[in-house]
């Protein structure tokens, strides 16, 4: 098997694991509070990441990289899981995946804003169309609870885009999986006490599905997915393997239907397709 094919397979495994994050979170918040879920997933993943860093004798981040690492940790490790968990108390996993389709555009926007990357005019055209489709879909759903969930999800995606931008800059210096592990470790002093404070009062009443969801987002979403993804990028190349991100929403929608028995409506699928087309177009003209 060629190196490039190995990279594509590894990248596809990573994307598939990421795609299961929102359905697994939806499972977990049925019985677990969003605060406990978010803090517990980070705490579990951070302890494992700390062991990996120690065993592999990875050097400490340099002082000049602390700011980028802190932003990445806050955005991707703390804010995104917490906001999505709150969002999924009000909207379905399928609806949340529609918003996640805008994540590449948010990342590109912050790359322009804080990363000094140049964008062609057509990039902004595609970005505006993609954002309008998703926001229009959100407004069409109606309902106070649904709108609250939409706002949580939209905020999560925007903040995560900033975190990805800082993480990408830092990855060029210390490596992708190292950034992921250090971001988790940096968050541990905040998330572990929060986890202990938010412990369920009656854990025996929590269904096994919720514990499975917590285990999934802690092990596979926060750790294993990144390991496969960064390995895929290294073996197959960022330009080639990176395009796999375009199919992540569709894998997520399929998992939401299979695991949660959610109904995937034609408007939901149509908006997702439109967002992905806009992402592909924006990337071409970025």
**What is the average per-residue pLDDT within 84-103?**
86
- Length in residues, the chain: 286
Q: What is the rounded distance in angstroms from the CA atom of residue 219 to the CA atom of residue 40?
A: 11
Q: What's the mean per-residue pLDDT of the chain?
A: 85
Predicted model pTM? 0.86
Q: What is the rounded distance in angstroms from the CA atom of residue 259 to the CA atom of residue 27?
A: 9
pLDDT computed for residue 174 by the predictor = 85
Give the best-scoring range by mean pLDDT among 5-9, 41-45, 120-124, 138-142. 41-45
**What is the average per-residue pLDDT within 103-107?**
77
Q: What is the rounded distance in angstroms from the CA atom of residue 81 to the CA atom of residue 126?
A: 27
pLDDT computed for residue 159 by the predictor = 93
Render the burial of 96-124: b for 16+ CB within 10 Å, e for the rest.
bbbbbbbbbbbbbbbbbeeeeeeeeeebe
Tens of pLDDT, residues 55-76: 999 999 888 889 889 998 999 8
pLDDT computed for residue 243 by the predictor = 66
pLDDT computed for residue 101 by the predictor = 76
**What is the average per-residue pLDDT within 172-199?**
91
Reported as a pLDDT band with limits 50, 70 and 90, residue 286 is low
């Amino acid at each position: 098997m060629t190196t490039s094919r190995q990279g594509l397979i590894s990248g596809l495994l990573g994307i598939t694991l990421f795609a299961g994050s929102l359905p697994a979170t939806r499972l977990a918040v049925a019985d677990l509070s969003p605060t406990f879920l978010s803090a517990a997933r980070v705490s579990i993943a951070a302890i494992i990441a700390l062991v990996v860093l120690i065993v592999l004798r990875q050097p400490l981040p340099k002082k000049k990289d602390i700011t980028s690492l802190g932003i990445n940790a806050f955005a991707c490790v703390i804010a995104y899981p917490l906001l999505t968990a709150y969002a999924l108390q009000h909207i379905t996993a399928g609806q949340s995946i529609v918003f996640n389709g805008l994540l590449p555009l948010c990342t590109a926007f912050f790359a322009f804003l804080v990363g000094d990357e140049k964008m062609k005019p057509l990039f902004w055209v595609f970005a505006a169309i993609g954002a309008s489709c998703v926001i229009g879909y959100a407004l069409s759903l109606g309902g106070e609870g649904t709108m609250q969930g939409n706002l949580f999800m939209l905020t999560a995606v925007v903040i995560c885009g900033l975190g990805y931008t800082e993480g990408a800059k830092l990855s060029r210096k210390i490596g992708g999986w190292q950034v992921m592990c250090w971001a988790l470790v940096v968050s541990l002093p905040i998330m572990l006490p929060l986890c202990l404070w938010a412990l369920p009062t009656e854990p025996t009443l929590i269904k096994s599905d919720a514990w499975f969801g917590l285990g999934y987002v802690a092990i596979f979403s926060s750790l294993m997915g990144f390991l496969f993804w960064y390995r895929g990028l290294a073996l197959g190349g960022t330009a080639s393997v990176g395009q796999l991100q375009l199919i992540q929403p569709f894998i997520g929608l399929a998992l939401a239907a299979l695991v949660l028995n959610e109904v995937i409506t034609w408007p939901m699928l149509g908006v997702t397709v439109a967002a992905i087309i806009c992402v592909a177009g924006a990337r071409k003209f970025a």
